[in-house]
Structure 1
Amino acid sequence: MKWLLALALVAASALAADDRRSGAEFMSAATQAMQRDDAQNPAMLWVANGEAEWNKSCVKCHGDARSSMRGVAARFPAFDTGSGKVVNLSQRINLCLERKLHAAPLRLESEELLALEAYLAMQSRGMPVAPPQDAHTRAAAARGQQLYKQRIGQLNLSCAQCHDQQWGKRLAASTIPQAHAAAYPIYRLEWQAMGSLQRRLRNCMSGVRAEVPPFGAQELTELEAWLAVRDQDMKMESPGVRP
Protein backbone atom coordinates (compact mmCIF):
# COMPACT_ATOMS: atom_id res chain seq x y z
CA MET A 1 0.00 0.00 0.00
CA LYS A 2 2.87 2.41 0.70
CA TRP A 3 4.11 2.26 -2.87
CA LEU A 4 0.56 2.85 -4.16
CA LEU A 5 0.34 6.01 -2.06
CA ALA A 6 3.73 7.13 -3.38
CA LEU A 7 2.63 6.61 -6.98
CA ALA A 8 -0.62 8.45 -6.35
CA LEU A 9 1.19 11.46 -4.91
CA VAL A 10 3.66 11.66 -7.79
CA ALA A 11 0.90 11.20 -10.36
CA ALA A 12 -1.03 14.05 -8.75
CA SER A 13 1.66 16.56 -9.68
CA ALA A 14 0.92 18.55 -12.83
CA LEU A 15 4.53 18.11 -13.96
CA ALA A 16 5.44 14.85 -15.64
CA ALA A 17 8.93 13.59 -14.82
CA ASP A 18 10.19 14.33 -18.33
CA ASP A 19 8.97 17.95 -18.10
CA ARG A 20 10.78 18.79 -14.87
CA ARG A 21 13.49 21.43 -15.08
CA SER A 22 15.91 22.52 -12.37
CA GLY A 23 15.67 26.12 -11.32
CA ALA A 24 19.23 26.50 -12.56
CA GLU A 25 17.96 26.17 -16.14
CA PHE A 26 16.04 29.43 -15.75
CA MET A 27 19.08 31.42 -14.59
CA SER A 28 21.51 33.48 -16.62
CA ALA A 29 24.68 31.83 -17.91
CA ALA A 30 26.72 33.86 -15.41
CA THR A 31 24.65 32.67 -12.44
CA GLN A 32 24.79 29.07 -13.68
CA ALA A 33 28.57 29.34 -13.87
CA MET A 34 28.66 30.75 -10.34
CA GLN A 35 26.77 27.73 -9.02
CA ARG A 36 28.91 25.21 -10.91
CA ASP A 37 32.28 26.58 -9.80
CA ASP A 38 32.95 26.09 -6.10
CA ALA A 39 35.62 28.78 -6.28
CA GLN A 40 32.97 31.31 -7.39
CA ASN A 41 29.96 30.00 -5.49
CA PRO A 42 29.48 32.33 -2.48
CA ALA A 43 27.54 29.58 -0.66
CA MET A 44 30.84 27.78 -0.18
CA LEU A 45 31.67 30.29 2.57
CA TRP A 46 28.77 28.86 4.56
CA VAL A 47 29.82 25.32 3.67
CA ALA A 48 33.28 26.02 5.11
CA ASN A 49 31.74 27.41 8.29
CA GLY A 50 29.47 24.37 8.46
CA GLU A 51 32.45 22.05 8.24
CA ALA A 52 34.05 23.90 11.16
CA GLU A 53 30.85 23.56 13.18
CA TRP A 54 30.68 19.87 12.29
CA ASN A 55 34.23 19.26 13.45
CA LYS A 56 33.52 21.10 16.68
CA SER A 57 30.21 19.44 17.62
CA CYS A 58 29.28 16.46 15.45
CA VAL A 59 32.37 14.59 14.33
CA LYS A 60 32.80 12.59 17.55
CA CYS A 61 29.52 10.77 16.98
CA HIS A 62 29.21 10.81 13.19
CA GLY A 63 32.80 10.83 11.96
CA ASP A 64 33.70 12.15 8.53
CA ALA A 65 30.58 13.73 7.02
CA ARG A 66 31.81 12.99 3.50
CA SER A 67 31.00 9.33 4.15
CA SER A 68 28.60 9.23 7.10
CA MET A 69 26.29 11.93 5.74
CA ARG A 70 26.40 10.89 2.09
CA GLY A 71 22.80 10.85 0.84
CA VAL A 72 21.27 11.95 4.14
CA ALA A 73 20.03 15.37 2.99
CA ALA A 74 18.36 13.75 -0.03
CA ARG A 75 16.05 11.88 2.36
CA PHE A 76 14.57 14.89 4.19
CA PRO A 77 11.99 15.92 5.34
CA ALA A 78 11.42 12.69 7.25
CA PHE A 79 9.31 11.46 10.15
CA ASP A 80 10.98 11.70 13.56
CA THR A 81 9.67 9.12 16.00
CA GLY A 82 10.74 11.02 19.11
CA SER A 83 8.83 14.18 18.28
CA GLY A 84 6.03 12.39 16.43
CA LYS A 85 6.17 14.65 13.39
CA VAL A 86 7.94 15.18 10.10
CA VAL A 87 11.04 17.39 10.37
CA ASN A 88 13.33 18.96 7.81
CA LEU A 89 17.12 18.77 7.86
CA SER A 90 17.70 21.89 9.96
CA GLN A 91 15.14 20.73 12.51
CA ARG A 92 16.84 17.32 12.63
CA ILE A 93 20.19 18.99 13.29
CA ASN A 94 18.66 20.82 16.25
CA LEU A 95 17.08 17.63 17.59
CA CYS A 96 20.49 15.99 17.48
CA LEU A 97 22.08 18.90 19.35
CA GLU A 98 19.40 18.75 22.04
CA ARG A 99 19.19 14.99 22.46
CA LYS A 100 22.79 13.89 22.03
CA LEU A 101 24.81 16.90 23.14
CA HIS A 102 22.27 18.37 25.56
CA ALA A 103 22.93 21.70 23.88
CA ALA A 104 20.57 24.55 23.14
CA PRO A 105 19.05 24.40 19.64
CA LEU A 106 20.35 26.84 17.08
CA ARG A 107 17.99 29.63 16.08
CA LEU A 108 16.13 28.77 12.90
CA GLU A 109 17.63 30.63 9.93
CA SER A 110 20.72 31.52 11.96
CA GLU A 111 24.08 31.63 10.22
CA GLU A 112 25.33 28.64 12.24
CA LEU A 113 22.35 26.45 11.37
CA LEU A 114 22.38 27.43 7.69
CA ALA A 115 26.10 26.64 7.58
CA LEU A 116 25.60 23.16 9.03
CA GLU A 117 22.65 22.51 6.73
CA ALA A 118 24.63 23.65 3.68
CA TYR A 119 27.60 21.47 4.65
CA LEU A 120 25.43 18.40 5.11
CA ALA A 121 23.41 19.08 1.96
CA MET A 122 26.60 19.30 -0.06
CA GLN A 123 27.45 15.72 0.90
CA SER A 124 24.46 14.61 -1.21
CA ARG A 125 25.26 16.78 -4.23
CA GLY A 126 24.61 14.85 -7.45
CA MET A 127 22.53 12.18 -5.71
CA PRO A 128 18.82 11.66 -6.45
CA VAL A 129 16.18 13.16 -4.18
CA ALA A 130 14.80 10.17 -2.29
CA PRO A 131 11.84 11.09 -0.04
CA PRO A 132 11.00 8.48 2.60
CA GLN A 133 8.26 5.99 1.82
CA ASP A 134 6.86 5.53 5.33
CA ALA A 135 3.20 6.28 5.95
CA HIS A 136 3.81 9.21 8.32
CA THR A 137 6.02 11.12 5.89
CA ARG A 138 3.69 10.41 2.99
CA ALA A 139 0.71 11.64 4.98
CA ALA A 140 2.59 14.86 5.73
CA ALA A 141 3.45 15.21 2.04
CA ALA A 142 -0.22 14.76 1.13
CA ARG A 143 -1.12 17.63 3.47
CA GLY A 144 1.69 19.67 1.92
CA GLN A 145 0.28 18.92 -1.52
CA GLN A 146 -3.06 20.37 -0.48
CA LEU A 147 -1.33 23.57 0.67
CA TYR A 148 0.59 23.67 -2.63
CA LYS A 149 -2.71 23.64 -4.53
CA GLN A 150 -4.64 25.93 -2.17
CA ARG A 151 -5.32 29.51 -3.21
CA ILE A 152 -4.07 31.89 -0.53
CA GLY A 153 -3.65 35.59 0.16
CA GLN A 154 -5.26 38.71 -1.19
CA LEU A 155 -4.07 37.76 -4.68
CA ASN A 156 -5.89 34.41 -4.35
CA LEU A 157 -3.09 32.38 -5.93
CA SER A 158 -1.68 28.93 -5.26
CA CYS A 159 1.85 27.59 -5.70
CA ALA A 160 0.56 25.26 -8.42
CA GLN A 161 -0.95 28.07 -10.48
CA CYS A 162 2.45 29.71 -10.91
CA HIS A 163 4.92 26.84 -10.82
CA ASP A 164 2.95 24.05 -12.51
CA GLN A 165 0.75 26.03 -14.90
CA GLN A 166 2.74 29.17 -15.75
CA TRP A 167 6.38 28.10 -15.52
CA GLY A 168 8.66 29.51 -18.18
CA LYS A 169 6.58 32.67 -18.52
CA ARG A 170 7.60 36.07 -17.25
CA LEU A 171 6.60 37.71 -14.00
CA ALA A 172 7.90 41.27 -14.18
CA ALA A 173 11.61 40.86 -15.03
CA SER A 174 11.89 37.26 -13.87
CA THR A 175 11.14 33.90 -15.44
CA ILE A 176 8.81 31.71 -13.39
CA PRO A 177 10.64 28.47 -12.49
CA GLN A 178 9.06 25.15 -11.57
CA ALA A 179 9.85 25.54 -7.86
CA HIS A 180 12.06 22.51 -7.39
CA ALA A 181 13.86 22.47 -4.06
CA ALA A 182 16.92 20.28 -4.63
CA ALA A 183 19.39 23.19 -4.43
CA TYR A 184 18.50 24.39 -0.94
CA PRO A 185 19.80 25.97 1.16
CA ILE A 186 20.75 28.54 -1.47
CA TYR A 187 22.75 31.71 -1.79
CA ARG A 188 20.35 34.20 -3.32
CA LEU A 189 21.82 37.24 -5.04
CA GLU A 190 18.80 39.33 -4.02
CA TRP A 191 19.45 38.46 -0.37
CA GLN A 192 23.24 38.64 -0.58
CA ALA A 193 23.12 35.74 1.87
CA MET A 194 22.22 32.10 2.36
CA GLY A 195 18.63 31.16 3.01
CA SER A 196 16.58 28.06 3.69
CA LEU A 197 13.71 26.68 1.65
CA GLN A 198 11.34 27.94 4.32
CA ARG A 199 12.65 31.47 3.83
CA ARG A 200 11.81 31.21 0.12
CA LEU A 201 8.37 29.73 0.81
CA ARG A 202 7.62 32.55 3.25
CA ASN A 203 8.74 35.09 0.63
CA CYS A 204 6.24 33.65 -1.84
CA MET A 205 3.45 33.72 0.73
CA SER A 206 4.25 37.33 1.50
CA GLY A 207 4.28 38.07 -2.24
CA VAL A 208 0.68 36.93 -2.65
CA ARG A 209 -0.23 38.90 0.50
CA ALA A 210 -1.05 35.86 2.59
CA GLU A 211 -0.55 35.31 6.30
CA VAL A 212 3.03 34.07 6.68
CA PRO A 213 3.68 31.19 9.12
CA PRO A 214 6.75 31.47 11.36
CA PHE A 215 9.95 29.55 10.63
CA GLY A 216 9.52 25.96 11.74
CA ALA A 217 5.74 25.95 11.31
CA GLN A 218 4.50 22.44 10.60
CA GLU A 219 2.62 23.49 7.47
CA LEU A 220 5.87 24.77 5.96
CA THR A 221 7.67 21.52 6.77
CA GLU A 222 4.81 19.54 5.25
CA LEU A 223 4.96 21.70 2.14
CA GLU A 224 8.67 20.86 1.97
CA ALA A 225 7.74 17.16 2.20
CA TRP A 226 5.46 17.53 -0.83
CA LEU A 227 8.16 19.34 -2.79
CA ALA A 228 10.53 16.44 -2.06
CA VAL A 229 7.98 13.99 -3.50
CA ARG A 230 7.56 16.27 -6.49
CA ASP A 231 11.37 16.33 -6.92
CA GLN A 232 11.88 12.58 -6.51
CA ASP A 233 14.92 11.32 -8.49
CA MET A 234 16.01 14.83 -9.51
CA LYS A 235 19.64 15.51 -8.63
CA MET A 236 20.62 17.33 -5.47
CA GLU A 237 22.40 20.61 -6.36
CA SER A 238 23.21 21.97 -2.93
CA PRO A 239 24.47 24.51 -2.28
CA GLY A 240 22.66 26.39 -5.04
CA VAL A 241 22.83 29.97 -6.28
CA ARG A 242 19.73 31.80 -7.39
CA PRO A 243 19.04 35.37 -8.62
Structure 2
Amino acid sequence: MRRPRGWTLASLALAAALLLGTAAAQGIPSQGIPPAERHSGFDQMAPETRAMQADDTANPGMLWVQDGAELFARAPSPERPACAGCHTESAMRGVAGRYPAWDEGAGQPVDLEGRINLCRARHQAATPLPREGRDLLALSAYLGHLSRGRPLAPPDDPRLAPARAEGRALFETPMGQLGFSCAACHDAQWGRRLGASTIPQGHPTGYPLYRLEWQDLGSLERRLRNCLTGMRAEPLTPGSAEAVALTLYLMQRAAPLAVETPAVRP
Protein backbone atom coordinates (compact mmCIF):
# COMPACT_ATOMS: atom_id res chain seq x y z
CA MET A 1 0.00 0.00 0.00
CA ARG A 2 1.38 3.35 -0.97
CA ARG A 3 1.71 5.72 1.97
CA PRO A 4 0.08 9.12 1.27
CA ARG A 5 2.20 12.14 2.04
CA GLY A 6 1.84 13.39 5.58
CA TRP A 7 0.52 10.09 6.88
CA THR A 8 2.47 8.29 9.58
CA LEU A 9 2.40 4.55 10.07
CA ALA A 10 0.39 5.08 13.23
CA SER A 11 -2.25 7.14 11.42
CA LEU A 12 -2.49 4.57 8.64
CA ALA A 13 -2.92 1.84 11.24
CA LEU A 14 -5.69 3.85 12.92
CA ALA A 15 -7.42 4.43 9.59
CA ALA A 16 -7.21 0.74 8.78
CA ALA A 17 -8.58 -0.20 12.17
CA LEU A 18 -11.51 2.19 11.77
CA LEU A 19 -12.20 0.87 8.27
CA LEU A 20 -11.92 -2.81 9.10
CA GLY A 21 -13.35 -2.70 12.60
CA THR A 22 -13.38 -5.90 14.62
CA ALA A 23 -13.53 -8.06 11.51
CA ALA A 24 -9.77 -7.82 11.08
CA ALA A 25 -9.09 -9.10 14.56
CA GLN A 26 -11.58 -11.95 14.20
CA GLY A 27 -10.36 -12.99 10.77
CA ILE A 28 -12.33 -13.05 7.53
CA PRO A 29 -13.09 -16.42 5.92
CA SER A 30 -11.91 -16.11 2.32
CA GLN A 31 -14.98 -17.04 0.32
CA GLY A 32 -13.19 -15.91 -2.79
CA ILE A 33 -14.51 -13.55 -5.40
CA PRO A 34 -16.69 -15.09 -8.14
CA PRO A 35 -14.82 -15.26 -11.46
CA ALA A 36 -17.18 -12.81 -13.14
CA GLU A 37 -16.49 -10.24 -10.40
CA ARG A 38 -12.70 -10.53 -10.36
CA HIS A 39 -10.90 -7.36 -11.38
CA SER A 40 -7.27 -6.58 -11.98
CA GLY A 41 -5.74 -3.65 -10.15
CA PHE A 42 -5.35 -2.16 -13.63
CA ASP A 43 -9.05 -1.28 -13.55
CA GLN A 44 -8.58 1.00 -10.52
CA MET A 45 -5.57 2.95 -11.75
CA ALA A 46 -5.50 6.50 -13.04
CA PRO A 47 -5.81 6.82 -16.83
CA GLU A 48 -2.21 7.97 -17.21
CA THR A 49 -0.91 4.91 -15.33
CA ARG A 50 -3.06 2.57 -17.42
CA ALA A 51 -1.70 4.26 -20.54
CA MET A 52 1.88 3.73 -19.31
CA GLN A 53 1.28 0.01 -18.85
CA ALA A 54 -0.47 -0.39 -22.20
CA ASP A 55 2.28 1.30 -24.23
CA ASP A 56 5.38 -0.89 -24.43
CA THR A 57 7.47 2.12 -25.40
CA ALA A 58 6.45 3.91 -22.17
CA ASN A 59 6.28 0.92 -19.81
CA PRO A 60 9.51 0.94 -17.71
CA GLY A 61 9.17 -2.80 -17.08
CA MET A 62 10.00 -3.49 -20.70
CA LEU A 63 13.66 -2.69 -19.93
CA TRP A 64 13.74 -5.83 -17.76
CA VAL A 65 11.89 -7.82 -20.43
CA GLN A 66 14.58 -6.92 -22.97
CA ASP A 67 17.31 -7.96 -20.53
CA GLY A 68 15.45 -11.21 -19.90
CA ALA A 69 15.24 -11.99 -23.61
CA GLU A 70 19.00 -11.59 -23.88
CA LEU A 71 19.62 -13.82 -20.85
CA PHE A 72 17.22 -16.44 -22.23
CA ALA A 73 19.20 -16.58 -25.47
CA ARG A 74 22.67 -16.52 -23.88
CA ALA A 75 24.45 -19.69 -22.75
CA PRO A 76 25.84 -19.41 -19.21
CA SER A 77 29.05 -21.11 -20.39
CA PRO A 78 30.37 -22.54 -23.67
CA GLU A 79 29.71 -26.10 -22.47
CA ARG A 80 26.10 -25.55 -21.44
CA PRO A 81 22.96 -24.69 -23.40
CA ALA A 82 21.08 -21.42 -23.24
CA CYS A 83 17.49 -21.52 -22.08
CA ALA A 84 16.53 -21.00 -25.73
CA GLY A 85 18.47 -24.15 -26.63
CA CYS A 86 15.76 -26.23 -24.93
CA HIS A 87 12.70 -23.95 -24.91
CA THR A 88 11.21 -22.09 -27.84
CA GLU A 89 9.36 -18.82 -27.31
CA SER A 90 6.15 -20.35 -28.66
CA ALA A 91 6.34 -23.23 -26.18
CA MET A 92 6.80 -20.82 -23.27
CA ARG A 93 3.66 -18.78 -23.97
CA GLY A 94 1.25 -19.25 -21.09
CA VAL A 95 3.81 -20.94 -18.82
CA ALA A 96 4.03 -18.03 -16.35
CA GLY A 97 0.32 -18.34 -15.61
CA ARG A 98 0.73 -22.00 -14.63
CA TYR A 99 3.04 -21.49 -11.65
CA PRO A 100 3.49 -22.37 -8.82
CA ALA A 101 3.53 -26.00 -9.94
CA TRP A 102 4.70 -29.33 -8.58
CA ASP A 103 8.34 -30.19 -9.25
CA GLU A 104 9.05 -33.90 -9.39
CA GLY A 105 12.73 -33.63 -8.56
CA ALA A 106 12.26 -31.30 -5.61
CA GLY A 107 9.15 -33.14 -4.41
CA GLN A 108 7.36 -29.88 -3.64
CA PRO A 109 5.63 -26.90 -5.26
CA VAL A 110 7.90 -24.28 -6.78
CA ASP A 111 7.15 -20.81 -8.10
CA LEU A 112 8.38 -19.51 -11.45
CA GLU A 113 11.56 -18.05 -9.96
CA GLY A 114 12.27 -21.34 -8.23
CA ARG A 115 11.78 -23.22 -11.49
CA ILE A 116 14.23 -20.93 -13.28
CA ASN A 117 16.86 -21.61 -10.64
CA LEU A 118 16.23 -25.37 -10.71
CA CYS A 119 16.74 -25.35 -14.47
CA ARG A 120 19.98 -23.44 -14.04
CA ALA A 121 21.27 -25.97 -11.52
CA ARG A 122 20.10 -29.11 -13.33
CA HIS A 123 20.73 -28.27 -16.96
CA GLN A 124 23.20 -25.41 -17.04
CA ALA A 125 25.46 -26.18 -14.07
CA ALA A 126 24.97 -22.54 -13.08
CA THR A 127 24.53 -21.02 -9.66
CA PRO A 128 21.04 -19.91 -8.56
CA LEU A 129 20.18 -16.30 -9.20
CA PRO A 130 19.41 -14.24 -6.08
CA ARG A 131 15.80 -13.38 -5.39
CA GLU A 132 15.05 -9.75 -6.29
CA GLY A 133 18.29 -9.63 -8.28
CA ARG A 134 18.02 -8.00 -11.68
CA ASP A 135 18.77 -11.16 -13.68
CA LEU A 136 16.07 -13.28 -12.03
CA LEU A 137 13.57 -10.43 -12.26
CA ALA A 138 14.49 -9.99 -15.92
CA LEU A 139 14.03 -13.66 -16.80
CA SER A 140 10.74 -13.78 -14.87
CA ALA A 141 9.54 -10.61 -16.60
CA TYR A 142 10.46 -12.00 -20.01
CA LEU A 143 8.58 -15.27 -19.39
CA GLY A 144 5.65 -13.33 -17.98
CA HIS A 145 5.62 -11.09 -21.03
CA LEU A 146 5.51 -14.15 -23.29
CA SER A 147 2.38 -15.18 -21.36
CA ARG A 148 0.74 -11.75 -21.48
CA GLY A 149 -2.93 -12.02 -22.34
CA ARG A 150 -3.09 -15.71 -21.41
CA PRO A 151 -5.19 -16.71 -18.38
CA LEU A 152 -3.84 -17.46 -14.95
CA ALA A 153 -4.33 -21.21 -14.74
CA PRO A 154 -2.52 -22.88 -11.82
CA PRO A 155 -2.44 -26.67 -12.26
CA ASP A 156 -5.31 -28.79 -10.99
CA ASP A 157 -2.81 -31.15 -9.40
CA PRO A 158 -3.89 -32.97 -6.21
CA ARG A 159 -0.31 -32.81 -4.93
CA LEU A 160 -0.72 -29.03 -4.68
CA ALA A 161 -3.80 -29.25 -2.45
CA PRO A 162 -1.95 -29.05 0.91
CA ALA A 163 0.07 -26.00 -0.21
CA ARG A 164 -3.05 -24.31 -1.58
CA ALA A 165 -4.83 -24.90 1.73
CA GLU A 166 -1.85 -23.51 3.62
CA GLY A 167 -1.85 -20.44 1.37
CA ARG A 168 -5.54 -19.87 2.01
CA ALA A 169 -4.97 -20.15 5.76
CA LEU A 170 -2.18 -17.58 5.53
CA PHE A 171 -4.50 -15.29 3.56
CA GLU A 172 -7.28 -15.54 6.15
CA THR A 173 -5.32 -15.52 9.40
CA PRO A 174 -4.86 -12.26 11.34
CA MET A 175 -1.18 -11.45 11.61
CA GLY A 176 1.18 -9.11 13.36
CA GLN A 177 0.71 -6.48 16.01
CA LEU A 178 -2.24 -4.93 14.15
CA GLY A 179 -4.11 -8.23 13.85
CA PHE A 180 -5.08 -7.79 10.21
CA SER A 181 -5.51 -10.52 7.62
CA CYS A 182 -5.11 -10.28 3.86
CA ALA A 183 -8.76 -11.25 3.46
CA ALA A 184 -9.94 -8.44 5.75
CA CYS A 185 -8.81 -5.94 3.12
CA HIS A 186 -8.85 -7.69 -0.22
CA ASP A 187 -11.97 -9.84 0.16
CA ALA A 188 -14.11 -7.83 2.57
CA GLN A 189 -13.20 -4.22 1.74
CA TRP A 190 -12.00 -4.11 -1.86
CA GLY A 191 -13.12 -1.03 -3.75
CA ARG A 192 -13.24 1.13 -0.63
CA ARG A 193 -10.61 3.73 0.11
CA LEU A 194 -7.89 3.64 2.73
CA GLY A 195 -6.30 7.07 2.90
CA ALA A 196 -5.70 8.16 -0.69
CA SER A 197 -5.59 4.59 -2.02
CA THR A 198 -8.34 2.35 -3.36
CA ILE A 199 -8.16 -1.14 -1.86
CA PRO A 200 -7.69 -3.61 -4.74
CA GLN A 201 -8.79 -7.22 -4.84
CA GLY A 202 -5.13 -8.12 -4.64
CA HIS A 203 -4.73 -10.34 -7.71
CA PRO A 204 -1.13 -11.08 -8.83
CA THR A 205 -1.77 -10.60 -12.54
CA GLY A 206 1.27 -8.56 -13.51
CA TYR A 207 4.31 -9.67 -11.52
CA PRO A 208 7.09 -8.90 -11.70
CA LEU A 209 5.75 -5.38 -12.11
CA TYR A 210 7.03 -1.83 -12.11
CA ARG A 211 5.76 0.13 -9.12
CA LEU A 212 5.98 3.90 -9.33
CA GLU A 213 6.43 4.08 -5.56
CA TRP A 214 9.51 1.85 -5.86
CA GLN A 215 10.81 3.36 -9.10
CA ASP A 216 11.83 -0.22 -9.78
CA LEU A 217 10.63 -3.63 -10.91
CA GLY A 218 9.72 -5.99 -8.09
CA SER A 219 8.38 -9.47 -7.48
CA LEU A 220 5.16 -10.57 -5.81
CA GLU A 221 7.27 -11.59 -2.80
CA ARG A 222 8.46 -8.00 -2.48
CA ARG A 223 4.87 -6.77 -2.45
CA LEU A 224 3.88 -9.36 0.14
CA ARG A 225 6.83 -8.29 2.25
CA ASN A 226 5.63 -4.68 2.06
CA CYS A 227 2.11 -5.67 3.11
CA LEU A 228 3.27 -7.81 6.01
CA THR A 229 5.63 -5.10 7.23
CA GLY A 230 2.75 -2.62 7.12
CA MET A 231 0.70 -5.05 9.22
CA ARG A 232 3.67 -5.24 11.61
CA ALA A 233 3.94 -8.95 10.90
CA GLU A 234 7.00 -11.07 10.24
CA PRO A 235 7.74 -11.12 6.48
CA LEU A 236 7.88 -14.49 4.74
CA THR A 237 11.32 -15.78 3.80
CA PRO A 238 11.82 -15.40 0.01
CA GLY A 239 11.31 -18.70 -1.76
CA SER A 240 10.08 -20.43 1.40
CA ALA A 241 7.35 -23.05 1.38
CA GLU A 242 5.01 -20.53 3.03
CA ALA A 243 5.70 -17.88 0.38
CA VAL A 244 5.12 -20.40 -2.44
CA ALA A 245 1.90 -21.61 -0.77
CA LEU A 246 0.50 -18.08 -0.46
CA THR A 247 1.47 -17.37 -4.07
CA LEU A 248 -0.30 -20.54 -5.20
CA TYR A 249 -3.50 -19.57 -3.39
CA LEU A 250 -3.39 -16.04 -4.78
CA MET A 251 -2.95 -17.35 -8.33
CA GLN A 252 -5.90 -19.72 -7.85
CA ARG A 253 -7.97 -16.91 -6.36
CA ALA A 254 -7.22 -14.69 -9.38
CA ALA A 255 -7.83 -17.24 -12.14
CA PRO A 256 -8.83 -16.84 -14.96
CA LEU A 257 -7.72 -13.20 -15.12
CA ALA A 258 -5.12 -12.52 -17.79
CA VAL A 259 -1.39 -12.17 -17.26
CA GLU A 260 -0.32 -8.51 -17.62
CA THR A 261 3.44 -8.75 -17.08
CA PRO A 262 5.09 -6.34 -16.81
CA ALA A 263 2.28 -4.44 -15.14
CA VAL A 264 2.64 -0.87 -13.85
CA ARG A 265 1.14 0.10 -10.49
CA PRO A 266 1.15 3.35 -8.44
TM (norm. structure 2) is 0.85
1:144 match: secondary structure: helix
- State the match for 1:42 in structure 2: 60
Superposition deviation, residue 139 in structure 1? 2.2
Q: Does 1:30 align with 2:48?
A: yes
Q: Does 1:168 align with 2:186?
A: no
Q: How does 1:1-243 map to 2 (within 5 A)?
A: 13-56=31-74, 57-62=82-87, 64-65=88-89, 67-243=90-266
2:166 match: secondary structure: helix
1:93 match: secondary structure: helix
Specify the structure having the higher radius of gyration (Cα). Answer: 2
- State the match for 1:7 in structure 2: none
Write the distance in 2 (CA, Å) between the matches of 1:173 and 1:160: 20
Superposition deviation, residue 221 in structure 1? 0.8
TM (norm. structure 1) is 0.92
- 2:62 corresponds to which letter in structure 1? M
Query: 5+ unaligned residues in a row in structure 1: which ranges?
Result: 1-11
Write the distance in 2 (CA, Å) between the matches of 1:218 and 1:111: 23
Superposition deviation, residue 15 in structure 1? 1.2
- 2:83 corresponds to which letter in structure 1? C
**How far does the alpha carbon of each residue in 1:202-240 deviate from its partner, in whole angstroms, 9 at most, with x for none?**
110000000112211211110000011111111111110
Superposition deviation, residue 90 in structure 1? 0.7
2:260 match: secondary structure: coil
Write the distance in 1 (CA, Å) between the matches of 2:175 and 2:126: 38
Write the distance in 1 (CA, Å) between the matches of 2:31 and 2:85: 42
Superposition deviation, residue 195 in structure 1? 0.4
Write the distance in 1 (CA, Å) between the matches of 2:261 and 2:94: 12
Query: 5+ unaligned residues in a row in structure 2: which ranges?
Result: 1-29, 75-81
- 1:31 corresponds to which letter in structure 2? T
Superposition deviation, residue 13 in structure 1? 3.1
Superposition deviation, residue 14 in structure 1? 3.1
Write the distance in 2 (CA, Å) between the matches of 1:214 and 1:140: 16
Write the distance in 2 (CA, Å) between the matches of 1:82 and 1:126: 30
Q: RMSD across aligned C-alpha pairs, in angstroms?
A: 1.2
CA contact (8 A) 1:129 1:234 kept: yes
Write the distance in 1 (CA, Å) between the matches of 2:45 and 2:161: 31
1:226 match: secondary structure: helix
CA contact (8 A) 1:94 1:105 kept: yes
